[in-house]
């Protein structure tokens, strides 16, 4: 049985994670971390039955009372780096779904984790369908080097562009470079700054933030008199839970910091 705590336990992703971990026969939820719900039962916070496991106000308090094998983090970009340093320094594996970590920060966390024999997964997206979407997009890039990305999320998402779209762009660019192909020259001139979106590795990303959406992405390829579009839709946060559960089970066998759930598949 793998013991797990959820940081950000009262958030939308945190509550679903608590429920999914509790429902899995190989995982055991032993508490949560969330200053807004400190002292309450983690099961009741998640909207299920009482589990007789507490929500703690901080990571320090949680680790002083419990020693989980894995901490799942769905908090905010403002605190994720400091959270991760504390968890990995304590020798606890960490599954991170919170966005906002830079490449330099991930490198530092990798060093901290290795020094303390604690593994870390940073996943921009836990949806297995989204991971497959990124894999297919990168495999198409050598044949369709002209590509743009549209990502659509709810209007309470902290960041834009999404971590999924950034990773998709990087994977596409790596595939284009490996194949030695380049996109066509973009001759469009913006009459309004930002109209063409943002560039990540020379790939244009357009971000939509509206009520009603959860997490959606289109990858649009243009060719000679043809277009090809890949679209993935997460219709609820339940779509991320198989990936969260998978990460909790496999993290002990993958050393260092891993970026992207696809490496666990």
Catalytic residues: 153, 157
The DSSP 8-state label assigned to residue 149 in this structure reads: E
Exposure on the CB side of residue 168, measured as CA atoms within 13 A: 33
Residue 69: count other Cβ atoms within 10 Å of its Cβ. 19
Residue 254: count other Cβ atoms within 10 Å of its Cβ. 15
Number of residues assigned to the chain: 265
Query: By C-alpha distance, which of 120, 122, 90, 4 is closest to 53?
Result: 4
Exposure on the CB side of residue 117, measured as CA atoms within 13 A: 1
Mapped onto helix, strand or coil, the DSSP state of residue 206 is: strand
Cα distance between residue 213 and residue 234, in whole Å: 9
Instruction: For residue 97, report the phi and psi dihedrals to the nearest 5 degrees.
Output: -105, -5
List, as own/partner pairs, every contact residues 218-227 make where C-beta atoms lie below 8 angstroms and the sequence separation is at least 24, other chains included.
Answer: 218/149, 218/150, 218/151, 219/133, 219/137, 219/147, 219/148, 219/149, 219/168, 219/172, 220/147, 220/148, 220/149, 220/150, 221/140, 221/144, 221/146, 221/147, 222/144, 222/146, 222/147, 223/143, 223/144, 223/146
Q: What is the enclosing helix (H) or strand (E) of 135?
A: helix 128-140
């Amino acid at each position: 049985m793998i013991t797990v705590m959820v940081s950000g336990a009262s958030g939308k992703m945190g509550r679903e994670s608590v429920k999914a971990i509790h429902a899995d026969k190989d995982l055991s939820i032993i508490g949560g971390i969330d200053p807004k719900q400190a002292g309450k039962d983690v099961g009741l916070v998640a909207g299920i039955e009482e589990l007789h496991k507490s929500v703690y106000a901080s990571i320090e308090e949680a680790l002083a009372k419990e020693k989980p094998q894995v901490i799942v983090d769905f908090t905010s970009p403002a605190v994720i780096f400091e959270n991760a340093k504390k968890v990995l320094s304590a020798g606890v594996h960490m599954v991170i779904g919170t966005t906002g970590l830079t490449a330099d920060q991930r490198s530092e966390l990798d060093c901290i984790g290795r020094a303390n024999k604690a593994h870390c997964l940073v996943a921009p997206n836990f949806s297995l369908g989204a991971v497959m979407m990124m894999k297919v997009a990168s495999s198409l890039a050598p044949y369709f080097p002209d590509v743009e990305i549209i990502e659509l999320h709810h209007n309470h998402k902290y960041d834009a562009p999404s971590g999924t779209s950034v990773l998709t762009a990087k994977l596409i660019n790596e595939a284009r470079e490996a194949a030695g192909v380049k996109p066509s020259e973009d001759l469009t001139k913006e009459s309004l700054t930002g109209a063409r979106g943002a560039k990540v590795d020379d790939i244009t990303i357009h971000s939509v933030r509206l009520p009603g959406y959860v997490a959606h992405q289109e990858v649009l390829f243009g060719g000679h008199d043809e277009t090809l579009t890949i679209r993935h839709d997460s219709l609820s946060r339940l779509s991320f839970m198989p990936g969260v559960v998978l990460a909790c089970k496999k993290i002990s066998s993958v050393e260092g910091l891993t970026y992207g759930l696809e490496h666990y598949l």
